[in-house]
Structure formats: C-alpha cells, structure tokens
Chain A
C-alpha cells in the first residue's frame, strides 16, 4: 500500500472567534509570519504525534513532580502543572520593543521604591496621592531608611502582560514583592524543548540560561562582605506555599540553599544558617516570602515564618535581601495611573510600555468615572492584601451592581476600576484539536550586577485561561501554561549555567549547608523508607500464606505472621485465635490499602512521600521517579481485593523500594546528609526486626512455625539454606538474624553501621570525647556482640525464654532512645515566640 502523502494542515481549520486578536493566525488559515516555522513543524508531526508528544510532556511533568498548590483544592494539595504542547511565539521585532519597555519599567519602579522608603518626596511633590502610600498595607514603616542591597530595591521584577485587538501590549500588573513564575517558565522550556526538539532547533528560539546566569551573578554580587563564595539562600515559607515546587526548583538550578525561616537565626546582627555543623553565615537572601512575614520582631508579630532580628541585620548592612523588604508596596493596581507622570519626573522619559487604563477610586473624579462606566470595567481591590475576586461590571446583576457601587462610595480608596480588555488568544492542543484560549504573559526582569539597568528574560510564562472565552487567567483558579518562544534574528548559541571552562573553581568537598531541619527530614526519610520496606515484607510473608491456607488452625506459620502483624498494629491485637481466613484476608488488605489506617502501608507510604516532598531540592531526579512509581503502584483505585492480587502488588513494591535504597546506597555522596538518612534506615530496620522476632516467638509453645517466615522477612532464606541445607532451627536462624554482622539485615549489622554513622557525625569541638549518642550506640552494639545466641536459644528451648526476650526488648528500646537523643542534639529547632 502506498504511503499517504496528504499532509495534515490542522492550523488551517483553527478558527479563533470573536474580536480578540489571535497570536498565531491573522485570519482563517493565515499564519502570522513569526509562527510559520512552528506551524510547519507541528503540522509535519500530525495530530497523533502531537497528542503523543503532549502525553510524553505530561509524563515528564509528573516525573519531575511539577506542581502548583491550590488552596482548598478538593483534588489534594499539589496539582500537576499544566503545559500545552503548542508554544506561544513572539516575533523578534515585537519582543525588542517589549524588552525595552520592561527594562524601563523596572528602573522606574526601583526609583519609586527608593523615594517611598526615604522621605516620600513624590508624595510631597504631589506626584502620588498620600493615601497610596500611607493607607497602603504594603508600606512597611520599619523598613523606612534601611540600606538596600546593591543600592537597589527591586532585584527581580515581573509583569503580567496582555495584548489587545489593535496589537498593543498592556501591563496588567506589576509583581515587585517576590515574583513567582520564572522557575515554571524554565521548567516549561526544559520539558517543551525535549518534546519538540525539531521545532525548537529550527525556530531559533532564544535561550533562557543566560538570564538565569545573570540572575545568579547578580545575587552573588549583592553579598555585603567580600567573599569568594558568598552563601546565598532562597527563603521559602515552606511546602504549603502555592509555588513551593518552584522554590525548590530554582534553588537547585541556581545553586542556592533552600531555607525556611526556622533554619535561620540572627546573631551579632548577622544572619546565620543553623546546620548540623553549627551556625554558618548567610550573605544574601533571595526571598520568596512576603516581606511582612520576614521578621516577627519588627514586622508582623503574628508571623511564625520569619527570622527575628532580620530587619536589624539589614539595617546593620550585614545581609542583603532581594527584593528589598517593603517592595510589596508597589503591588497595587492603584499605582498604575500615576506611572506615566512618575516616569517623566524620575527618568525624564515617556513610559513606553503602557498599563491597562486604571482609575483609582480614592480620587472623586476617577471614582465617578468608574461608576459611570461600570460595564466596561473590572473592579479590583486597590491593595493586594484585601482578598477579593475581581468583579466584571458587565456581568453583574442589578442587585450586585448596586451593592458594589455602594461599597465603592463607602470606601472609595480600596477600589480601582480597570478597563476590561479583550485578551488575545492562542491555539491550545486539547482533545486532538486546536482551540483558542485567552492568554496572559508573565515577563521577568533582573537587575544587572554592577550596572543600573535590568536584563529581561527572553521568554516568560504564558498562562492560559481554562475556558475558551474567558477574560480571567489565573493559575490559582485553574488554566494551563505555555512555553514562550522569543525568536532570534540570528543564530542561537547554547549556554550552560555552569561556570565557563577555564574559570578557577576552588575545591570544596563539604559545603556546610546541611540545615538541622533538612538533616531531620533525611533521618526520617530513611526511617519511613525502611518502615515501608519492613511492612511490605511482613505483608508479603503473611499474604503468601493466606493464599494457601484453608483455616488458621492448619497454618501455624500464618498464625505466627498474625502475631507479627498484631505487634505492628496491622491487625487487632486481641484477635480470636481462630479467626476465619476470609476475615483475616479482609483485615490484611485493609491494613495495606486503607489510607486512613494508622501505621498501615498506604499511610506509611504517604508519610514517606511527604517527607521526601519536604526534601525535594535534595533528591535526585531518579529518586523522585522511584517515589512517584511507588505512589502510582499504590494509587487509590488499585485493583486488589484478594490476597493473590496483594501478593503481586507487594512483589512489585519490594522492587521499587529496592530501587530507592539502591539510589541511596550507590548515588549519594557520603556526607552528613547521607549519614543521617542511612542512620534512620538502620535504626528503623533494627528496631522493627527486634520487635518482630519477639512477637513471633511466643512465650510458650513451638518456635518452628515462626522460623521460615522470619528468614523471609529478614531476606535470609537463601543464605540459611546454603549454609545449613536443613530445616530451620532456632539457634542458627537467630545467629543469622541477630548476631552475624556479615548479614546486611541482621541486628548486629544495623548496630555496627549505626555506630559508624554516629562516629562520623559533626560535633562541637568542646563536646566530650564520647557523646551520649555515641555511648548509647556503642552499648547496644556491645550487648548484641557479647550475647551468646546459641546459649540464649538453648535456654529458651529449656523453658527460660526471658534472657533472649530481654536482649531483644532492650535493643528495641535502646534504638528508640537513640533516635530521641539524635533528634535532641541535631534537629531540635525550638520555636521562638513574640512577647
């Protein structure tokens, strides 16, 4: 059969509606010249391949776990990031005008901030209404007169841009506080350039890396003390922030230490990072926390997120904060109408990039204009701290309209009216076809190190409305995103963020940036990973016997497993000795799969995932993929209603967990971080093993039924068979599982490894030769090494089970104590309070 030669021409059928401008086509079928290259490449792929590439891109996003947290989201806290397969393309000529306008705007806003925080001449000269400063909740009086890093307030500026039917770009809003989105733009680029490699290469798309390199250089240059390697941290409010993914992502990409307020402390007017190796000085803080929350002493006292004394450290010139504390004052749409006048006054230039026509109702004439033209307006709160949805005048009922007008008249200063714009549209690939959706572009400008200008990111985050004809584009309310391609007139050179070859790089094997909080999380990552593995092994030993058993009375090994599960609180402790197999199966499946079941498998996996999520800037891409695989393995809708299904599932999970411990064992640098992670794993494994052995060897009665299941749980059946080629008997089994330090699942092995990890941990130079945790670990190890397991087993067989039981019990208890001791010494982050 001859190959079909009919070329797909999907864009010819793409028909934007209404009067809005479309970014891709001018009229039906007529592609804008700058879009031709992309359209050609996409059409060459054809619809099936486009959908396949989109699916692959989505998979990558899931693997990278790119999320955007949505408050009150019924789907759960982190929602996968949405990226369309068709990029938004901007022509070189249009971009260079935008670029100049964005740089000018950043310079202007920086100067406005400098004025507002040093005497407010602009208000005295009546270029700005006083209320816009003094009634503005973003005006932080404690920041008045503070020195600013690099002489600038605004180090990173973002602008939301929209385009109207006449082709003009308008600024919808300025983000001067702690702009988000640059990291998502970067991730979009990384994913999309891999999804459409042909188009990306052929279209000569400008690279983003130079922008990020300049951003990093600028941040380093802000360091107040001269230093070869200043410590630059990214301050996040934590995993509950809507853009936490981006905080971790940017920190990783830019080589910054991701910190929360609790990781920092102020001493002698300097800011320090609390690490497991003591306090380490911090030079520069890129803050992704609103300024009001940054210092409970001088700013909002009800904030538990900030760092007490930070404002004083800034005042003393000891730390640089970007953007400057207080810069949020400009995040008010009420400022927009005054910018043209401010631009003439401060820069002696005309404002080249206009703002969407805006009227601040705090002025009587403007208020009356807004009320008279309500149908053409979007009414917004004047200050970002007033939480309120924008109201579209044309969409209001008569009653709503009257109520809104009454509110505006009562508190005019709190409202602005903005002209409702017809947002431009762009084609989005969904359900196998192209659909026009409204878009808004977030563009970014970063201060140039040492200069006075700003460098604009050649790209941006294009956000897409979630409905075809929507004039609201918001990530918080849904909708997706696009990569933004700025085409180049000439060839594009590849750029890397790494220092160019030939740059001298000082050897530094152990950067001291393991914060106590991160060490704590790594320790628990190890504990939870191992806890999952122990549970899976116990469940597997139980279900493999459940599958075969007819009744529990005929299955003594199953009865031993029930005791193990009961001691781990997986099945009821006081279960009747002769519970039916069907009931036991139901209970076991329940303990595996019910996410609300405390200490059950799904809940423990949830805890593992949570603590991993807190560490996402520290985990490798492979580690992430494995954890996501675990999550997929045990999703809510997993088909598992019989012990046989469970066995298949458990076998798969054992392998996935083995992959995780493999990454941990083979790919992690042997620093303190790994030591804490591994110590957590050893401690958990030892404690669980001691507990399970105790439970499975009953006070009276036969031990033989417990031995094979125990060997299975300890993954040592093979070793046993090879060594003894005999039926299992108590002393050799326990020698293997307890005393033999060459068996990687034995108690002795765990204790030996733990003692070595603890010896390797950092400690105060003034600490005693043997610390409490060292002494404890050594004592536990000595007890196991000194025990004569054969004699203990013989005593047990002779009716004296207590000595063996005591040894196991003391080991489990001692490991719990060791965990507490480590936590107290290395992880305790006492919470500060305001009075």
Chain B
C-alpha cells in the first residue's frame, strides 16, 4: 500500500521572531514493513540552514534555522511511503516472565526501552494494573493484546483533557487523554513489568474502508507503541484504537517516549504568543 502524505505545520507569532532553531522528525523512517519512497521539504520563509542527520534510534532528523525576522513560519513535509501489511501475530510466544528475566540476552538496543525515560517512569501502580493482563505464565503477545484492549476500554479519548506536559501518573488518575497519553501509559505498564516498550510516532489513515468503522485519531499525528518479543521482534500496538498489530499506520520515528521523537520543536528568539496549526493529508494510492 502506497501512501502520499502532506504534513503542514504553520505557526503565527504575535511578535516578530528574529532567530529560530528547529528540529523536525517528519521524514518517515524505514522499518520491517515500511519502505520510504520519496520525501521533500518546503519552508516559508526559506531557512538559512537545513541539515539532516540520523539520531541514535535511526530516525531521520532535520535541523533548520530561520535567521531573518519573521512573523509566520510554515513547514511542509511531503512523503510517499510503501507500507506492507504487518505480519500476523505469532501463534505462540514466550511466557512474559521469561522475557523479563532474560533481558540480558536481548539485543542491547532493546535495553534502552526497558528503563525509565524522561517522560515515562514505571512504578508499582502501573505494574499492578498491567498484572491483570500479564498473569502468571501468560504468553507475552496475549498479554499485549489484552492490555491494549483494557487501556482502550478504561481510558476515554478526550482531546484537550491533557497537554504534552501532562505526566503519565496524571493520565492514569484521570483515565483520559489523547493518543500520546494512551501510549505513554501503556509503555509505563509494560516497563513496570520489566518488558521493553517503545513509543512510535506516525500517522493513521482515518478514512474508513468499505464496511469498517471510522478510526479515532487526531487529524494530525498519531502515536502508538511497540513491544519487543524475542523470536518475532517489535510488535506494534495501538491502545487508542485497540489494534494489535496495527494496520493502517505509517511510522515516522520511534524512541523511548514523546520527548525523543516530537515531530517538530523549536527555540525562538522573540515571538510573544504563538498559534500553531497542523494539517495532515493522507491519500492512499489506488
């Protein structure tokens, strides 16, 4: 399946900005079932500097800087991505405890996703919640499917109830939030059990296919998680839509939590109040 994606971020500043520096993770990365085809940037005003590199997780990152005075900034990222259907879930998978107890045998880059990260710290409360899904000896993939389902059931999708700064503990208490909060909470649950879970940023194709319900997502970016299963690799799970594995998801980047992969961030000089609008358009090629 080939998708054409146009992602426009437009910022209006109340006052003039003299200099701004930005990082964007808006170029889709390759993954086991995704091949990026083309990508291009368009800026207004034109950046003084545009450089691209890969971060420690292998995500493409663009650094750009505006050096002339401006009141408005628009960044357009255009991508074409070939996304294959994810492999079906493995019919058998190891008991979750064997994964927990065998972390030393896992590839080392997996270890990065077990320990606490800037926005997601585990704790006994999450472990207790997750334990219902991960009963003694249960296959890890079954546990993942069940936990994803329970989070979808127990949490209310409520745009505006949280901000990017809302801590996971607060989300857990409120039982409401957006896809980012769902993902952080699920990661907290899995890491509290000692399992490696990562945060995935990307897009969701929301237009319904025939005889399917319209999926819930934000108009802009989406977020979900992936769990590492020895023998299989990373399995994506979308707690906001109760999907394991995910199917209509296009991956941009992954990291330990949102802080590692925020689609666009910047430090500006001047500017006053700012208003940001994001528009994402996803078209499936016939």
Mark A residues whose CB is within 8 Å of B. Answer: 120, 123-124, 130-131, 134-135, 141-142, 144-145, 265-269, 296-298, 301, 308-309, 312, 315-316, 830, 832-835
Q: Flag if A316 contacts B56 (CB, 8 Å).
A: no
Q: Flag if B19 contacts A267 (CB, 8 Å).
A: yes
Q: Flag if A141 contacts B55 (CB, 8 Å).
A: yes
- B18 contacts A by Cβ under 8 Å: yes
Whether A312 touches B115, Cβ cut-off 8 Å, given contacts A269-B49, A269-B51, A834-B265, is: no
From residue B58, how far is it (CB to closest CB) to chain A in Å?
11
Q: Flag if B108 contacts A124 (CB, 8 Å).
A: yes
Q: In the complex, A141→B255 CA distance in Å?
A: 10
From residue A711, how far is it (CB to closest CB) to chain B in Å?
49
Report which of A141, A144, A834 forms a contact with B267, defined as CB distance below 8 A.
A834
From residue B99, how far is it (CB to closest CB) to chain A in Å?
15
Q: In the complex, A460→B18 CA distance in Å?
A: 46
7 other A-B residue contacts (CB within 8 Å) besides A142-B55, A269-B51, A308-B21: A124-B108, A134-B112, A266-B65, A296-B267, A309-B65, A312-B63, A834-B267
From residue B185, how far is it (CB to closest CB) to chain A in Å?
21
Nearest residue (CB) in A for B54 is A145
From residue B264, how far is it (CB to closest CB) to chain A in Å?
9
* Cβ contacts under 8 Å, A832 to chain B: 19, 267-269
Query: Which residues in chain B, 231-276, are within 8 Å of chain A measured between CB atoms?
Result: 259-260, 265-271, 274, 276
* Cβ contacts under 8 Å, B271 to chain A: 833
Mark B residues whose CB is within 8 Å of A. Answer: 18-19, 21-23, 48-49, 51, 53, 55-57, 63, 65, 67, 104, 108, 111-112, 114-116, 259-260, 265-271, 274, 276
Q: Flag if B21 contacts A135 (CB, 8 Å).
A: no
Q: Flag if A833 contacts B268 (CB, 8 Å).
A: yes
Q: In the complex, A406→B260 CA distance in Å?
A: 33
Q: Flag if A835 contacts B108 (CB, 8 Å).
A: no
Nearest residue (CB) in A for B110 is A130
Q: Which 6 pairs from chain A and chain B are nearest by CB?
A: A308-B267, A135-B115, A144-B56, A130-B111, A309-B21, A141-B56
Q: Flag if A130 contacts B108 (CB, 8 Å).
A: yes
Nearest residue (CB) in A for B256 is A141
From residue A364, how far is it (CB to closest CB) to chain B in Å?
11
* Cβ contacts under 8 Å, B104 to chain A: 130
Nearest residue (CB) in B for A126 is B104
Q: In the complex, A537→B51 CA distance in Å?
A: 61
Report which of B48, B67, B260, B265 forms a contact with A297, defined as CB distance below 8 A.
B265
Report which of B22, B111, B259, B267 forms a contact with A134, defined as CB distance below 8 A.
B111
Q: In the complex, A526→B274 CA distance in Å?
A: 39
Q: In the complex, A131→B104 CA distance in Å?
A: 10
* Cβ contacts under 8 Å, A312 to chain B: 21, 49, 51, 63
A-B contact pairs, 27 of them (CB 8 A): A124-B108, A130-B104, A131-B115, A134-B112, A135-B115, A135-B116, A145-B56, A265-B19, A267-B65, A268-B49, A268-B65, A269-B49, A297-B21, A297-B266, A297-B267, A301-B259, A301-B265, A309-B267, A315-B51, A830-B270, A832-B268, A832-B269, A833-B268, A833-B271, A834-B265, A835-B266, A835-B267
Q: Flag if B56 contacts A268 (CB, 8 Å).
A: no
* Cβ contacts under 8 Å, A315 to chain B: 51, 53, 63
Q: In the complex, A266→B48 CA distance in Å?
A: 12
Report which of A144, A267, A298, A830 forms a contact with B23, defined as CB distance below 8 A.
A298
From residue A799, how far is it (CB to closest CB) to chain B in Å?
51
Report which of A266, A316, A830 forms a contact with B51, defined as CB distance below 8 A.
A316
From residue A128, how far is it (CB to closest CB) to chain B in Å?
10
Determine the main DSSP class of B at the interface with A.
Answer: strand
Q: Flag if A833 contacts B267 (CB, 8 Å).
A: yes
Report which of B48, B65, B260, B268 forms a contact with A141, defined as CB distance below 8 A.
B260
Report which of B55, B63, B270, B274 forms a contact with A835, defined as CB distance below 8 A.
B274
Nearest residue (CB) in B for A310 is B21
From residue B139, how far is it (CB to closest CB) to chain A in Å?
25
Highest count of chain B CB atoms <10 Å: which of A131, A297, A834: A297
Q: In the complex, A120→B108 CA distance in Å?
A: 9
Q: In the complex, A123→B270 CA distance in Å?
A: 44
From residue A310, how far is it (CB to closest CB) to chain B in Å?
10
Report which of A124, A144, A301, A830 forms a contact with B269, defined as CB distance below 8 A.
A830
Q: In the complex, A312→B55 CA distance in Å?
A: 12
Q: In the complex, A477→B56 CA distance in Å?
A: 39
From residue B75, how far is it (CB to closest CB) to chain A in Å?
13
Q: In the complex, A316→B50 CA distance in Å?
A: 12
Q: In the complex, A123→B111 CA distance in Å?
A: 11
Q: Flag if A131 contacts B267 (CB, 8 Å).
A: no
Q: Flag if B67 contacts A268 (CB, 8 Å).
A: yes
Q: Flag if A266 contacts B21 (CB, 8 Å).
A: yes
Nearest residue (CB) in A for B18 is A830
* Cβ contacts under 8 Å, A134 to chain B: 111-112, 114-115
* Cβ contacts under 8 Å, A120 to chain B: 108
From residue B63, how far is it (CB to closest CB) to chain A in Å?
5
* Cβ contacts under 8 Å, B116 to chain A: 135
Q: In the complex, A130→B110 CA distance in Å?
A: 10
From residue B61, how far is it (CB to closest CB) to chain A in Å?
9
From residue A279, how far is it (CB to closest CB) to chain B in Å?
11
From residue B29, how far is it (CB to closest CB) to chain A in Å?
16
Q: In the complex, A145→B57 CA distance in Å?
A: 12
From residue A304, how far is it (CB to closest CB) to chain B in Å?
10
Q: In the complex, A834→B20 CA distance in Å?
A: 10
Nearest residue (CB) in A for B259 is A301
* Cβ contacts under 8 Å, B48 to chain A: 267-268
Q: In the complex, A667→B114 CA distance in Å?
A: 62
Q: In the complex, A693→B22 CA distance in Å?
A: 55
Nearest residue (CB) in B for A831 is B269
Q: In the complex, A123→B103 CA distance in Å?
A: 13
Q: In the complex, A296→B268 CA distance in Å?
A: 10
Q: Flag if B67 contacts A835 (CB, 8 Å).
A: no
Q: Flag if B19 contacts A297 (CB, 8 Å).
A: no
From residue A585, how far is it (CB to closest CB) to chain B in Å?
51
* Cβ contacts under 8 Å, A309 to chain B: 21, 63, 65, 267
From residue A679, how far is it (CB to closest CB) to chain B in Å?
26
From residue B201, how far is it (CB to closest CB) to chain A in Å?
16
Report which of A131, A267, A298, A830 forms a contact with B111, defined as CB distance below 8 A.
A131
Nearest residue (CB) in A for B111 is A130
Q: In the complex, A265→B48 CA distance in Å?
A: 14
Q: In the complex, A266→B49 CA distance in Å?
A: 11
Nearest residue (CB) in B for A298 is B23
* Cβ contacts under 8 Å, B22 to chain A: 297
Report which of A267, A269, A316, A835 forms a contact with B265, defined as CB distance below 8 A.
A835
Q: In the complex, A145→B55 CA distance in Å?
A: 9
Q: In the complex, A301→B259 CA distance in Å?
A: 10
Q: In the complex, A309→B267 CA distance in Å?
A: 9
* Cβ contacts under 8 Å, A269 to chain B: 49, 51, 65
* Cβ contacts under 8 Å, B265 to chain A: 297, 301, 834-835
From residue A92, how far is it (CB to closest CB) to chain B in Å?
46
